[in-house]
C-alpha cells in the first residue's frame, strides 16, 4: 500500500496541473479573531472555490491524470455532495460523462448543484448501502473510472494544493505557521495538507477537527490504526460523515498530526455565524469545524500564527438559518 502514497512532489505537480482550472482562494484575517485567540489567524476560504468547496481540487487532478481511453468511459463516484460536485464539474470541464451515487438524504442544494453540471444522479440509502461496492458496480456497467472521495493518491495530492497555497501566501506576508486546523472526514484533505506542511512548514502542529460522534480520525490516532466511529452522531456536518479513515489517508496522517479535536454542534453554529458576520463568508457545518475549534480555544498558538481552512460553503438554507438564529 505504501508505494501508492503520494508525496509533496505530487502536490507540486497537481498545483501546476490545476493552474487556471481552479480558484487560488485568498487568505482572510479579522482583528476580532486575532483578539479572541491571542494569535494571528489566517483563514483559507474554500467556499469561494468553484463548486463551493476544496473538493474540486482533488477531483480535477484525478480526472486530468486519466488516460484518453479511460476518459471515454467517464467517471463514477459516491458522495454526499461536495465531492459529487467536484467530480461533476471536472467531468464537464473535460467533456466526460459523470455518474454520481448520492445518499437519498443529501442536502437538496448539493444534489441540484451536482445535476446542473450534467451528472447522472443515483440515489442510495446512506445507512444500508456499501458505497464502494455500488460505485464499482456502476463503473463496471458504464466502463467508467471510479474517483473515490478521499482514499486515492491523485485526490489527496490535489487537495494538498490548498495548504500549499496557504503556506506560500502566508510566507509572502511574513508569517510562519505554528498551528493549523483542518476539517476532517475521510482524511483526504487532511492528508494532502500534511504533505504540504511536512515539506514547507514542518514545525507547525496540525490538528484534525471532527464533529461529535464522527471522530474516527481521533480514535484511530489514539489506537494506532484505523477504527470506525464508536457511536455515530447527528448528520449536521453531512460533509464529514465518513465511517472511518481511509488506508492511504491514515498512513499519511498518523505520522504527522498533533492530534484530533472534536467540536459540538453549538460550536459549529458559532463558527458559521462568525464567518458570516465578520469574514463575510457562507460556510456549511462540515466546512466550519476547524474554525469552531479555534474559536473554542481547542487549537491555540498564543503569540503565534494559526492557519484555518474553511472547507466548503454548500449549506442548506434552513440549516444556515438555524446557525444564524442559534
Tell me which of 146, 178, 207 is where a domain ends: 146
What pLDDT is stored for residue 1 in this prediction? 41
Structural domain including 292 reads 2-53+153-325
What pLDDT is stored for residue 126 in this prediction? 84
pLDDT in tens, 238-278: 999 988 999 999 999 999 999 999 999 999 999 999 999 99
Integer angstrom CA distances of residue 94 from 63, 65, 74, 116: 8, 11, 10, 16
Tell me which of 110, 128, 146 is where a domain ends: 146
Instruction: Indicate if 140 and 189 belong to the same structural domain.
Output: no
What pLDDT is stored for residue 112 in this prediction? 92
Cα separation, 80 vs 76, in Å, equals: 14
Catalytic residue among 53, 79, 242, 311, which?
Answer: 311
Instruction: Indicate if 28 and 166 belong to the same structural domain.
Output: yes
Catalytic residue among 44, 55, 97, 110, which?
Answer: 55
Partners of 312 in beta bridges = 53
How high is the mean pLDDT in each 10-residue block of the chain (326 residues)? 82 98 98 98 98 98 97 94 95 97 90 94 90 94 96 98 98 98 98 98 98 97 94 91 94 97 98 98 98 98 97 96 96
Both ends of the chain: CA-CA distance in Å?
45
- Show Cβ contacts of residue 280 under 8 Å, excluding neighbours closer than 6 positions: none
Instruction: Indicate if 109 and 222 belong to the same structural domain.
Output: no
Instruction: Indicate if 12 and 62 belong to the same structural domain.
Output: no
Contact between 199 and 160 under an 8 Å Cβ cutoff? The reply is no
Burial class (CB in 10 A: 0-12, 13-18, 19+), 7: middle
What pLDDT is stored for residue 10 in this prediction? 98
Pairing type for strands 205-211 and 259-263 reads parallel
Burial class (CB in 10 A: 0-12, 13-18, 19+), 68: exposed
**Count: domains in the chain:** 2
Contact between 157 and 189 under an 8 Å Cβ cutoff? The reply is no
CATH number at residue 9: 3.40.50.1100
Is 55 an annotated catalytic residue?
yes
Burial class (CB in 10 A: 0-12, 13-18, 19+), 129: middle
Cα separation, 288 vs 282, in Å, equals: 9
Tell me which of 127, 146, 165 is where a domain ends: 146
Whether the full predicted model's pTM is greater than 0.75, yes or no, is yes
Contact between 60 and 22 under an 8 Å Cβ cutoff? The reply is yes
Is 220 an annotated catalytic residue?
no
Amino acid at each position: 500500500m505504501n508505494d501508492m502514497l503520494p508525496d509533496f512532489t505530487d502536490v507540486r505537480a497537481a498545483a501546476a496541473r490545476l493552474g487556471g482550472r481552479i480558484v487560488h482562494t485568498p487568505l482572510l484575517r479579522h482583528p476580532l479573531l486575532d483578539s479572541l485567540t491571542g494569535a494571528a489567524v489566517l483563514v483559507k476560504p474554500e467556499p469561494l472555490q468553484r463548486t463551493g468547496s476544496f473538493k474540486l481540487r482533488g477531483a480535477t487532478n484525478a480526472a486530468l491524470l486519466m488516460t484518453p481511453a479511460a476518459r471515454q468511459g467517464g467517471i463514477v463516484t459516491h458522495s454526499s455532495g461536495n465531492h459529487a460536485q467536484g467530480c461533476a464539474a471536472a467531468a464537464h470541464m473535460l467533456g466526460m460523462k459523470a455518474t454520481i451515487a448520492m445518499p437519498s438524504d443529501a442536502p437538496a442544494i448539493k444534489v441540484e448543484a451536482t445535476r446542473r453540471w450534467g451528472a447522472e444522479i443515483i440515489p442510495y440509502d446512506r445507512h444500508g448501502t456499501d458505497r464502494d461496492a455500488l460505485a464499482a458496480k456502476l463503473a463496471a456497467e458504464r466502463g467508467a473510472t471510479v474517483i473515490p472521495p478521499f482514499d486515492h493518491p491523485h485526490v489527496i495530492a490535489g487537495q494538498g494544493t490548498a495548504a500549499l497555497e496557504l503556506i506560500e501566501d502566508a510566507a509572502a506576508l511574513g508569517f510562519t505557521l505554528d498551528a493549523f486546523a483542518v476539517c476532517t472526514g475521510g482524511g483526504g484533505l487532511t492528508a494532502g495538507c500534511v504533505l504540504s506542511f511536512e515539506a514547507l512548514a514542518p514545525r507547525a502542529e496540525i490538528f484534525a477537527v471532527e464533529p461529535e460522534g464522527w471522530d474516527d480520525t481521533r480514535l484511530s490516532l489514539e489506537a494506532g490504526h484505523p477504527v470506525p466511529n464508536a457511536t455515530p452522531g447527528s448528520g449536521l456536518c453531512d460533509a464529514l460523515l465518513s465511517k472511518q479513515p481511509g488506508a492511504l489517508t491514515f498512513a499519511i496522517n498518523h505520522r504527522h498530526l498533533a492530534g484530533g479535536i472534536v467540536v459540538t454542534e453549538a460550536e459549529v453554529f458559532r463558527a458559521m455565524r462568525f464567518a458570516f458576520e465578520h469574514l463575510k463568508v457562507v460556510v456549511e457545518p462540515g466546512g466550519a469545524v476547524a474554525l469552531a475549534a479555534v474559536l473554542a480555544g481547542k487549537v491555540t498558538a498564543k503569540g503565534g500564527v494559526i492557519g484555518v481552512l474553511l472547507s466548503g460553503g454548500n449549506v442548506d438554507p434552513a440549516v444556515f438559518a438555524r446557525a444564524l438564529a442559534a
